[in-house]
Amino acid sequence: MLKLTMFGCNYRTADIAVRERFAFSPEQCKKTLQKWSDAQTHEAVLLATCNRTELYVASENGTVIDDGAICQFLCDEKNVMPETVRESLIMLHDDEAVSHLFRVAGSLDSMVLGEPQILSQVKAAYQTANEIGTAGSVLHGLFQASLKVAKRIVGETEIHQRRTSIPSVAVADFAMQIFERLDDKKTLVLGAGEMADETLRYLTDQGAMSILVINRSTDHAQKLAEQWHGHTDTWENRFARLAEVDVVISTTGATEPIVRLDDYLAIESRRQGRPLFVLDLAMPRDFDPAIGSRENVFLYSVDDLKETCERNQQSRNRELPKAEKIIKQECGKFWHDMRSRETGSIIRRLREDWESRKETELTRLFHKLPNLSETEQREVRYAFDRLINKLLHPPLESLRDEAYQPHHGVTYLLQDAISRLFRLKD
């Protein structure tokens, strides 16, 4: 029996403090899936972004997926006591899990509706599971279907035509409230990944010219800086540079703060009271939240974008019904494809059994009627074929109809009933 489960938390269910506790770097995702592979037989994909940590688990061999074991596994990985975060965690099953992933991939569940980055993150999570070997036939079908959903939403709705990402909202609605212009400001970018690259695009659109990129990997920093006509410095000099700049965009994958309160206090006097805008887009957060209480420091995290993002979503609500219709269609298609594969075996066995019986009876009949011409034999064979098809039609149609239903209990009852009634061999 095919079963699907999604367990985790996201920005709708958990605040940033809880999400930090469940943050996984790409390398940690690999190690966690490897542990899963060593201990479990179920398929698994781990999707971890700054706004969500979601473990997708699938089984198609009739084995039960233990919800409690999934919860305990993920909590153990992060040394979290389940009872301390239980209200922030969610568990979705079967059709709800499928619909949820489709909404995530289509960027309908994002903080900024239509933001483009989530699709690449879904792809990366699926690819990682493929590398480790925890994505089997069910999750392969599920995640491939989610990519199709995203493609349809982009092509058939206007949600992405005026797409707005978290960096664009941050720059336009936050940075520009503090500074009238950016062309005379110094900008420091900590981190050199996709989020840093996208943020720089919006910063330069707003006029930013003096750009410094610092990353633990100097090669990545150099590549990003060259792309945006900036320059680089060493990781060890980040505090000294923090004393000189006006805007900081931090997007590293560090597992703990890279700028603590004491680090900032050590260079605060050198800033001479100049305003400092810090946009901390990392998860866990790169900057100690206490730094935001210092004078002339404007520190914003991902959660501070919620209100602006919600307004953004309201302006796109008119396109949501189209996108939801696509998701409903593709959910039905996914379940139909999965059930068709499951029922294919019993349909094949039933046909093979009846074909074998037909051939036995035709051989006996033609032996008793040796004077039948070839034309007459073809007519008799044709009549047998028509009879078999008519007799097979009702049970096969029932199986196919049930394949479209999200709750598959009836499908398996029908399969079992047909197997028993016609004594089909496994």
Residue 303 belongs to a domain: yes
- Final residue before a domain boundary, out of 295, 312, 329: 312
- Write down the catalytic residue from 9, 50, 309, 331: 50
**In Å, what is the CA distance from 370 to each residue of 355, 367, 377, 384?**
22, 6, 10, 18
- Residues 38, 172 share a domain: no
| Residue that terminates a domain, selected from 262, 293, 312 | 312
Please tell me whether residues 211 and 347 are part of one structural domain: no
Is beta strand 297-301 parallel, antiparallel or unpaired with respect to 90-93? unpaired
Number of domains in the chain: 3
Could you tell me if residue 325 is inside a domain? no
Whether omega before 284 lies within 30 degrees of 0, making that bond cis, reads: yes
Which pair of tokens denotes residue 371? 């004077």
Q: How far apart are CA 108 and CA 106, in angstroms?
A: 6
The pair of three-digit structure tokens given for residue 291, joined into one six-digit string: 């730094």
Report yes or no: 264 and 296 within 8 Å, Cβ to Cβ.
no
Assess whether 90 and 56 both reside in one domain. Answer: yes
94 and 20 housed in the same domain: yes
Quick one: 296 and 190 in the same domain?
Answer: yes
- Flag whether 327 is in a domain: no
Same structural domain, 124 and 107: yes
98 shares its domain with 226? no
| 338-349 pLDDT per residue, tens | 877 766 667 777
172 and 301 both lie in a single domain: yes
Entry pTM:
0.67
Per-residue confidence band for 400, with pLDDT thresholds at 50, 70 and 90: low
User: Each residue of 71-127: pLDDT tens digit?
Assistant: 999 999 999 998 889 899 999 998 999 999 999 999 999 887 777 778 989 999 999
Pick from 263, 292, 312: which residue ends a domain?
312
pLDDT(1) > 90 = no
Residues 152 and 23 in one domain: yes
Q: Return d(Cα 101, Cα 138) in angstroms, integer.
A: 14
Lowest mean per-residue pLDDT among 12-26, 59-73, 179-193, 240-254: 59-73
Residue 50 among the catalytic residues:
yes
**Structure confidence at residue 327 (pLDDT):** 95
Mean pLDDT of 59-70: 79
On whether the CB atoms of residues 151 and 144 are closer than 8 A, the answer is: no
Residues 272 and 171 in one domain: yes
For position 99, what pLDDT does the model report? 95
Q: Is there a domain that residue 318 lies in?
A: no
- Does residue 326 lie within any of the structural domains? no
Question: Do 327 and 103 form a contact (C-beta atoms < 8 A)?
Answer: yes
Taking the C-alpha atoms of residue 335 and residue 337, their distance in angstroms, rounded to an integer, is: 5
User: Whole domain around residue 236: which residue ranges?
Assistant: 166-312
9 belongs to a structural domain: yes
What CATH number is given to the structural domain containing 35?
3.30.460.30
